[in-house]
Structure 1
Amino acid sequence: MPIATEAQFTEVYRAHYEDVLRFVRRRAHPMNVDDVVGETFLAAWRRRRELPENARPWLFGTARNLMLNANRGMRRQSALVVHIGRTATATADAHDPTAGVDSRLELVEAWQALAAADQEVLALHVWEDLGAKEAARVLGCTRASYSMRLTRAKRRLADRLGHSAATASTALSLSTR
């Protein structure tokens, strides 16, 4: 059932919006429901000429895939925080077992306070283990621009941790490549 007009799409939207909304509400975090539903119908609009006769299962599948992608992203983000925390804990004083815990909590708090752009640059470097050239390609910028962003992100993280940028970089193994 290729959709050729806006009126036809509106008809599909009205017919299936409530079902998709209920589907997503049962599966997604309440803060994400509207985004997932909106993205689902945006995908439907973009692929309107390819929608099957019964669009409902297609819409559910699309919503499901969007939720899975969002969950993978959140797991990667959490894993990065844990990875950085482990690195920081490894550099903590071995004679003070609470130093590692305190350091890790401080790091998680500092990470969460960073802007998303800083988190992305640091994640490409630490989690994805990309060199400057590859990370710059991912971000669509020059290698020099990426290196500057990485340096600034490290500095902001170090400031939040109360360390010098050099100390924080060493502790977190965030040296530039």
Structure 2
Amino acid sequence: MPIDTEAQFTEVYRAHYEDVLRFVRRRAHPMNVDDIVGETFLAAWRRRRELPGNPRPWLFGAARNVMRNADRGMRRQSALVVHIQQTTAAGCHEPAVDVTAQADSRVDLVAAWQSLTAADQEVLSLHVWEALDARDAATVLGCTRAAYAMRLTRAKRRLAGRLHTAAVPASPALSLTH
């Protein structure tokens, strides 16, 4: 669906802005959401003549790429801070806090979710929260439909295993069977 006019782009923007905003809010720090959504639609504007007929998965993929770029930049900045601290402290390190020792022994859905890898969380959220079909979710992730289906199956098993181990019933909002 090549977009030739500003009016056509405005239609796409209005039709998909809320979906992209929700997608980013679920994944990014609240302070970064507006910037990420803005950069996503800027990328869409720049590539407006290449947008597919259904731009929603493309927009999710673009937002995901913007978030990944931002994460890489934050990791580089954090690594620099750690390097500077280590250099200036010269051996005066405090022992790392064992987060798991301080964690509540009660495992619930949130804890099971957080124990998943980012890749598993992403696959499951595309399925559950964004309600994308396999073809569109594969487009977002930049993989084949078969690869997405396998990733989804494995992520569901891992989450179900964590929930089963903790003997916590799954939330109806996070159905693992559809």
> Structure 1 length as normaliser, TM-score?
0.51
Name 1:29's counterpart in structure 2: 29
Runs of 4+, deviation exceeding 6 Å: none
SS in 2 for 1:66: helix
Q: Alpha-carbon deviation of 1:88?
A: 1.5
Q: Are 2:41 and 1:41 aligned?
A: yes
Q: Alpha-carbon deviation of 1:69?
A: 0.7
**What amino acid is the match of 1:60?**
F
Alignment of 1:1-177 (within 5 A): 1-90=1-90, 100=92
- Alpha-carbon deviations, 1:104-134, whole Å to 9, x = none? xxxxxxxxxxxxxxxxxxxxxxxxxxxxxxx
Task: Tell me the number of residue pairs that the alignment of Structure 1 and Structure 2 aligns.
Answer: 94
Structure 1 stretch displaced more, 31-40 or 79-88: 79-88
Counting aligned pairs with the same residue, the percent is: 83
- Alpha-carbon deviations, 1:54-90, whole Å to 9, x = none? 1000000000010111111111111101111111222
**What amino acid is the match of 1:13?**
Y
Structure with the bigger percentage of helix: 1
Instruction: Give ranges in structure 2 of 5+ residues lacking alignment.
Output: 95-178
Tell me, in whole angstroms, the C-alpha distance in 1 between the residues paired with 2:2 and 2:35.
25
Tell me, in whole angstroms, the C-alpha distance in 1 between the residues paired with 2:72 and 2:47.
24
**What amino acid is the match of 1:14?**
R
> Structure 2 length as normaliser, TM-score?
0.51
Q: Alpha-carbon deviation of 1:101?
A: 5.3
